A and B are shown apart, each in its own frame.
Chain A
Amino acid sequence: MKKVKIYVTLRESVLDPQGTAVKGSLHTMGYNEVADVRIGKYLELQIDPSERDIDGIVKEMCEKLLANTVIEDYRYEIEEAN
Chain B
Amino acid sequence: MKFAVLVFPGSNCDLDMYHAIKDELGEEAEYVWHDATDLSGYDGILLPGGFSYGDYLRCGAIARFSNVMTEVVKAAEAGKPVLGVCNGFQILTEVGLLPGALLRNKNLKFICRTVDLKVVNNHTLFTNQYDDNEMIQIPIAHGEGNYYCDEETLQKLKDNNQIVFTYEGENPNGSVENIAGIINEKGNVLGMMPHPERAVNELIGGIDGLALFKSIVKQWRESYVQA
Residues of A within 8 A of B (CB): 13-15, 17-18, 21, 41, 65-66, 68, 70-71
Is the beta-carbon distance between A65 and B148 smaller than 8 angstroms? no
Is the beta-carbon distance between B101 and A17 smaller than 8 angstroms? no
Checking A13, A21, A65, A71 against B108 with a beta-carbon cut-off of 8 angstroms, the contacting residue is A21
Checking A15, A21, A66, A70 against B57 with a beta-carbon cut-off of 8 angstroms, the contacting residue is A66
Q: Mark B79-116, 1 if CB is under 8 A from A, else 0.
A: 00000000000000110000111011111100000000
Is the beta-carbon distance between B105 and A70 smaller than 8 angstroms? no
B65: A residues at CB distance < 8 A: 65
Checking B58, B93, B107 against A17 with a beta-carbon cut-off of 8 angstroms, the contacting residue is B107
A17-B174, A21-B108 known; 5 new pairs, CB 8 Å cut-off, are A17-B105, A18-B104, A68-B58, A68-B61, A70-B93
Residues of B within 8 A of A (CB): 57-58, 61-62, 65, 93-94, 99-101, 103-108, 148-150, 174
Closest Cβ of chain B to A16, distance in Å, is: 8
Known: A65-B61, A68-B94, A70-B101. A17 touches B149 (CB 8 A): no
Known: A70-B149, A71-B148. A65 touches B104 (CB 8 A): no
B93: A residues at CB distance < 8 A: 70
A66: B residues at CB distance < 8 A: 57
A21: B residues at CB distance < 8 A: 108
Is the beta-carbon distance between A70 and B100 smaller than 8 angstroms? yes
Is the beta-carbon distance between A14 and B148 smaller than 8 angstroms? yes
B174: A residues at CB distance < 8 A: 15, 17
Q: How far is the CA of A66 from the CA of B149 in the complex (A)?
A: 19
